[in-house]
Amino acid sequence: MPIPQTPWEAQVGTAMRSCIAVFGEGPKRVRYLHRSGLAYDINGIFEAQTEQVDPETGAAILSNRPYLHVDLAELQQVPVSGDRCVIRGRTYRVVEPEFDGQGTASLRLHLD
């Protein structure tokens, strides 16, 4: 996967790895299944529920839309819609990978 191109990207990767060490699923506890057939274990931060803010009212909305936050350096290929992840014994399909442009991504998931 991408090698950090700037000192900033390297620092973002370091920060993400620290967050994953504290809030993540544990060492290599997420099974990643790329659409190409490649399967391997990764680290990541799983959120079964997310909170969003309604832009019109400013009200917080709790959603059952799960996300997996990853350091792209963990992945062997770029994540795409249709990939799958096994987290806590349940299989999720990647609906939309959301890249931050700094070497990390939030993968919006749907329970398979």
> Which CATH number describes the domain made up of 7-111?
2.40.10.210
Tens of pLDDT, residue by residue over 22-31, are 999 888 899 9
| Tokens linked to 101 | 């442009």
pLDDT (mean) for 99-110 = 91
Tens of pLDDT, residue by residue over 49-93, are 766 677 888 887 766 789 999 998 889 999 999 999 999 999 999
- Selection from 26, 22, 30, 7 nearest residue 103 by Cα: 7
pLDDT (mean) for 28-55 = 89
Q: Where are the domains of the chain?
A: 7-111
In this predicted structure, what is the pLDDT of residue 3?
63
The structure tokens 């190409």 sit at 36
